[in-house]
Each structure stands twice: as C-alpha cells, then as structure tokens.
C-alpha cells in the first residue's frame, strides 16, 4: 500500500472562525496553529503548506492563568542604543489585543520558510465583528485533538 503525498495543486483551503472569549491563551493558540499548519487534515504532508485560513474574534477577551497578567513580559528593541522596551501582558492586551494572539500563535508555528505564509492566513480582530462573512467561515467551538486508544 502506497502512502499518499499531497501536491500543491490539490490543496483546498477552508475558512475557520475561532472565538477567543474566555479561552486560555496558550491552549487556544495551539489549536489555531494546528489549523494553520494543516495538521488536522488527513492529507498532511510536512513539506507542503496545506493549512487553512483562521479568523479569530474577541481577541481582547482572552485569559491567562496565574500571575501572567503582570508577570508575562513582551520585549522589543527600537534599534537605538539602550532601546530595549518592555510591556507586561495587561498593557499589551489593552493597547494591542490582536498582537497578543498573533505573537502566541507565531511562536508556536515551526520556524521555517512557511511560517510567514501561514501567518498571512491568520486574521485576528479585537471585537466580534469581522469582514469575512463572504467566505462563510466554519465556527469552531472546541477543536479537540483525537488520541488513539491502545
């Protein structure tokens, strides 16, 4: 029996809608990253980008556990000497709620040439409105990873 290998011309991309309200950041980001990579499809091939589009709404209502609201720090450098800047999770969530989810998902994707293409298929919105109704995204409530029983 031969193994199936997906070809780039055979890929069909679907649109999925994720609601981030009252979800834990890390667990939510892994589910979205799994859809972007295409690992939830039976035709997954590691070297072919077969992932789907992901629309995330209610990014401003994401939750974290423990003391991460003040203890989780985001760093960036301005490029000038002494230009290391930092913001904690609470400030980042107030000013840039989309960026919190984008960074979490980006850091869960493989660091290779396909990462930028996959991130282009991620669309994050702070509120519950999004302009992608024409694509008819499939709402995902609980995307559970199936485990095989031995």
Q: Which of 62, 115, 120 is nearest to 92 (CA)?
A: 62
Pick left, alpha or beta for residue 95 (phi over 0 → left; psi -120 to 50 → alpha; otherwise beta): alpha
Query: What is the per-residue pLDDT for 14?
Result: 96
Tell me the pTM.
Answer: 0.89
* CA pair distance 131, 55, nearest whole angstrom: 10
The tens-digit pLDDT sequence of the chain (150 residues) is 788 888 989 999 999 999 999 999 999 999 999 999 999 999 999 999 999 999 999 999 999 999 999 999 999 999 999 999 999 999 999 999 999 999 999 999 999 999 999 999 999 999 999 999 999 999 998 655 444 454
The residues, ordered by sequence, that sit 6+ positions from 98 with a Cβ below 8 Å of its Cβ are: 59, 124, 125, 126
Could you give the CA distance from residue 34 to residue 95 in angstroms, rounded to a whole number?
27
Q: What is the pLDDT of residue 144?
A: 56
pLDDT of residue 139: 95
Query: Residue 49: what are its φ and ψ, rounded to 5°?
Result: -85, 95
Any residues with CB less than 8 A from the CB of 92 and at least 6 apart, and which? Answer: 74, 99, 100
Q: What is the pLDDT of residue 147?
A: 45
- Provide the CATH topology of domain 14-63+95-140: Ribosomal Protein L13p; Chain: A; (3.90.1180)
Q: Two tokens at 60? A: 């401003």
Among candidates 104, 15, 11, which has minimal Cα distance to 59?
A: 104
The pLDDT value recorded for residue 1 is 78
């Amino acid at each position: 029996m031969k193994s199936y290998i997906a070809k780039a011309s055979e890929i069909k991309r679907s649109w999925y809608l994720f609601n981030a309200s009252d979800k834990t950041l890390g667990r939510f980001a892994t589910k979205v990253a799994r859809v972007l990579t295409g690992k939830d499809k039976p035709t997954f091939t590691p070297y072919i980008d077969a992932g789907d589009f992901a629309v995330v709404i209610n990014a401003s209502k994401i939750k974290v556990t423990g003391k991460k609201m003040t203890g989780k720090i985001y760093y960036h450098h301005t490029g000038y000497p002494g230009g290391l800047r930092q913001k904690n999770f609470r400030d980042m969530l107030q000013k840039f709620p989309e960026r919190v989810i984008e960074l979490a998902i980006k850091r869960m994707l493989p660091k290779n040439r396909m990462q930028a293409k996959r991130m282009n298929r991620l669309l994050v919105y702070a509120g519950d409105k999004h302009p992608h109704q024409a694509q008819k995204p499939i709402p995902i409530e609980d995307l559970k990873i199936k485990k095989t029983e031995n």
